[in-house]
Amino acid sequence: MTTWHIAGAQPLGGEPVDIVISDGIISAILPTGSTPATNSTLIEARGLIALPGLVDLHTHLREPGREDAETVESGCRAAALGGFTAVHAMANTDPVADSAGVVEQVWRLGQTAGLCDVHPVGAVTVGLQGERLAEIGAMADSAARVRIFSDDGHCVNDALLMRRALEYTKAFDGVVAQHAQEKRLTEGAQMHEGVVSSRLGLTGWPAVAEEAIIARDVLLAEHVDGRLHVCHVSTAGSVEIIRHAKARGVKVTAEVTPHHLMLTDDLVETYDPVYKVNPPLRTARDVVALRAALADGTIDAVATDHAPHPSESKDCEWAAASMGMLGLETALSVVIETMVNTGLMGWADVADRMSIRPARIGGLQGQGRPLAVGEPANLVLVDAGATWVVDPAAMASRSRNTPYRALTLPGRVVATIFRGRPTVLEGRLA
């Protein structure tokens, strides 16, 4: 296997070193300026930050069923370009990933693509219908070794089913990832309920509809001592509930999306469905609270909720449009913009929230590991000083629904190394 000599990278933004990779692991870390071994290939990395490969807890790869929007392979290309070495593929495919057969299919598609680890998320309930438990144990025991279960897109509304799922997954250290959305309070909901929705005449998605479910779920998790993960936390109130639950020792973790760290509901004034997402964009006050919670660790992870949609699902009036945004190729840049360049987090924190903790939540081996000798060589090299203009047409995703179109964002992924092999070099797929 090829040996790679990464020259002059700065692990977590620290002092420059040379990192030698062979046979899929970090075989040496040398003083910078060391002479590469004759059989090795040089990757010039002076001035680049080295982070452990990013891990996404929340990715919609759309395959099987909606290959017009994304495939496992196109999604993995987007992931690699975004610096990811592992993604969790959400279960709302067609057919739904609610059986060992479907999760193994997705897992194999990921293996074939070979661009990052693809870990299928299993559905909590059959067909995401919220009526009876899917064969969670069979998915856990399958070749895909599923550990995260979620009906994402739908909330597990039934308190008894949620309780059982939190209990049942304890048998294999699984976790239930909840899309917290009280159903009755969000019937027909189109955007955050507040001043902007009142003006625009769009049906509101109130913050309380998220918070009420999170409050219930942390109490259930506490009661049965199960593991709860809260998907895409979007409100200041949710942060407070999670903070309080963590202080009481509840086994709860939480993620926030890049878009909820950056964008606010006033963008909906354009009625451009590229800003339509679930949970909806919230207020500036919520953004401030989410950033603070990510910085202090109350929110454990950044997760993209990468949600590709074909153009006809967005090139229409607001009410008819699908909810969701692309995220994989812009996530790190948005985190740099909102968290690093604002001084809220350092590079070690970025590694923690985008790699180490998500890998731990997903129960992944070989991901989110320190950049140290003997560790699996999953890493990303970032040019933190570079900026780029987001061009939807240039994205690797099959879809174009990025809310950052034409924005200038900081930070460029220069190289992604997955299991000792570059998937991205010089900012392009290797």
Partner 1 sequence: MTRHLLSCEDLTAEDAILILDTAKRLGELSTGPMRKLPTLRGRTVVNLFFEDSTRTRISFEAAAKRLSADVINFAAKGSSVEKGESLKDTAMTLEAMGADAVVIRHPASGAPYRLANAGWIGGSVINAGDGTHAHPTQALLDAYTMRDHLRGGTGDLQGLRVCIVGDILHSRVARSNVSLLTTLGADVTLVAPPTLLPIGVEEWPAKISYSLDDHLPETDALMMLRVQNERMNSAYFPSAREYSRRYGLTASRMSRMPEHSIVLHPGPINRGMEIASEVADSPRAVIIEQVRNGVITRMAVLYLLLGGSESGLGDLVDEEATA
Question: How many Cα atoms are found within 13 Å in the side-chain-facing hemisphere of 81?
Answer: 17
* # residues near partner 1 by CB under 8 A: 25
DSSP 18-48: EEEEETTEEEEEEETTPPPPTTEEEEE-TTP
- Select from 403, 356, 423, 399 the least CA-distant residue to 81: 423
| Least distance in angstroms from the C-beta of 18 to Zn ion | 42
> Given the complex with Zn ion, which of 156 and 336 has the nearer CB atom?
156
Closer residue to partner 1, CB minimum distance, 199 or 223: 199
Q: Let me know the angle formed at the C-alpha of 82 by 80 and 378, rounded to the nearest 5 degrees.
A: 55
Residues 162-201: x/- map of binding to partner 1 (CB under 8 A)? -------------------------x--x--xxxxxxxxx
Q: Which is nearer to Zn ion, 218 or 233 (CB)?
A: 233
Write the binding mask 247 to 276 for partner 1: x where contact by CB under 8 A, - elsewhere.
-----------------------xxx----
200 binds, among Zn ion, partner 1, none (CB under 5 to 8 A by kind): partner 1
Burial pattern 58-91, b for ≥16 Cβ within 10 A else e, equals: bbbbbbbebeebbbbbbbbbbbbbbbbbbbbbbb
> Which residue has 């025991």 as its token pair?
141
- The item of Zn ion, partner 1, none sharing an interface with residue 152, based on CB under 5 to 8 Å by kind, is Zn ion
**Cβ closest to Zn ion, residue 305 vs residue 329:** 305
Indicate which single residue of 98, 151, 152, 211 sits in contact with Zn ion (rule: CB under 5 A): 152
Residue 318's binding partner among Zn ion, partner 1, none (Cβ under 5 to 8 angstroms by kind) is partner 1
Site for partner 1 in 202-241 (CB under 8 A): 202-204, 206
Nearest approach in angstroms of CB 164 to partner 1 is 30
393 is a contact residue toward partner 1 (CB under 8 A):
no
Residue from the set 66, 77, 119, 179 that interacts with Zn ion by CB under 5 A = 179
Name residues contacting Zn ion, limited to 230-269 (CB under 5 A): 231
Answer with the entry of Zn ion, partner 1, none that 356 interacts with (C-beta below 5 to 8 A by kind).
Answer: none
* Least distance from Zn ion to the Cβ atom of residue 345, Å: 24
Judged by CB under 5 A, the chain residues 102 through 141 that form the site for Zn ion are none
- Tell me whether residue 18 or residue 152 sits nearer to Zn ion (CB atom): 152
Q: What burial class does residue 231 get, using C-beta atoms within 10 Å of its C-beta: 0-12 exposed, 13-18 middle, 19+ buried?
A: buried
Residue 179 C-beta: closest distance to Zn ion, Å: 4
b (16+ CB within 10 A) / e for 414-430: bbbbbbbbbbbbeeeee
Instruction: Report yes or no: 371 and 348 within 8 Å, Cβ to Cβ.
Output: no
- Residue 184, C-beta contacts closer than 8 angstroms, at least 6 positions apart: none
Minimum distance from CB of 192 to partner 1 (Å)?
A: 10
Catalytic residue among 98, 286, 305, 383: 305
Return the sign of the alpha-carbon dihedral for residues 354, 357, 358, 364: positive
Which of Zn ion, partner 1, none binds 179 (CB below 5-8 Å, type-dependent)? Answer: Zn ion
- Tell me the number of residues near Zn ion by CB under 5 A: 3
- Smaller CB separation from partner 1, 270 or 341: 270
Residue 67: name its binding partner from partner 1, Zn ion, none (Cβ under 5 to 8 Å by kind): none
CA distance 109 to 122: 16
Torsion-angle region of residue 404: left (phi > 0), alpha (psi -120 to 50) or beta? alpha
For residues 425 and 83, give the distance between their C-alpha atoms in angstroms, rounded to a whole number.
11
Residue with tokens 């090139």: 315
Q: What's the CA gap between 79 and 428, in Å, rounded?
A: 12
Question: Rounded distance, CA 124 to CA 133, Å?
Answer: 6
User: Exposed, middle or buried: residue 317 (CB in 10 Å: 0-12, 13-18, 19+)?
Assistant: exposed
Tokens representing residue 170 in the block: 């304890």
CA 15, CA 34: separation in Å to the nearest integer?
14
Closer by beta carbon to partner 1, 70 or else 193: 193
Q: Tell me whether residue 22 or residue 322 sits nearer to partner 1 (CB atom).
A: 322
Residues 293-352 interacting with partner 1 (rule: CB under 8 A): 312, 315-320
Look up 23 and say whether it is catalytic: no
Q: Which parts of this chain interact with Zn ion (CB under 5 A)? A: 152, 179, 231
What residues are labeled active site? Answer: 305
Q: Which parts of this chain interact with partner 1 (CB under 8 A)? A: 187, 190, 193-204, 206, 270-272, 312, 315-320
